[in-house]
Amino acid sequence: MTSRNTWAIIAVGVALCLPLAACKDAKTQQENVQLKAQVAQLQKDNGQAVNDLEAMTADRDDLKKENEQLTAEIKALKSKSSKKKSASHKHHRT
């Protein structure tokens, strides 16, 4: 009799645990789906960030070249104006 009761208790325990295990599996599966969606969004965001970085790097390089050209123009203009000033401001002693 006790062995039948023991088996009955075990069977009831197993029967009660199966829905709980299935519920945990469903919850875990739902979490996995959410995590996969988050990973996909992060990968998309990362790809966009890489594209933005490449565009900004190209813009920076263009601005650097333009800055170098403008700096060279300023130096050329300064040297021309300083030559004119030095030639016109000479004082002659008599």
Give one DSSP letter per residue of 44-75, joined into a string.
Answer: HHHHHHHHHHHHHHHHHHHHHHHHHHHHHHHH
CA distance 67 to 58: 14
pLDDT of residue 36: 96
- Model confidence pLDDT, tens digit, residues 41-75: 999 999 999 999 999 999 999 999 999 999 999 99
The reported pLDDT for the residue numbered 10 is 78
One-letter amino acid at 74 equals I
- Give the span between the Cα atoms of 74 and 68, in whole angstroms: 10
Q: Taking CA 16 as the corner, what is the angle to CA 10 and CA 17, rounded to the nearest 5 degrees?
A: 90
Token pair for residue 56?
Answer: 């900004």
Three-point CA angle 90, 82, 86, nearest 5°? 5
CA distance 66 to 7: 86
Mean pLDDT of 32-46: 96
Asked if pLDDT for residue 2 goes beyond 60, the answer is yes
Q: Is the pLDDT of residue 79 over 90?
A: no
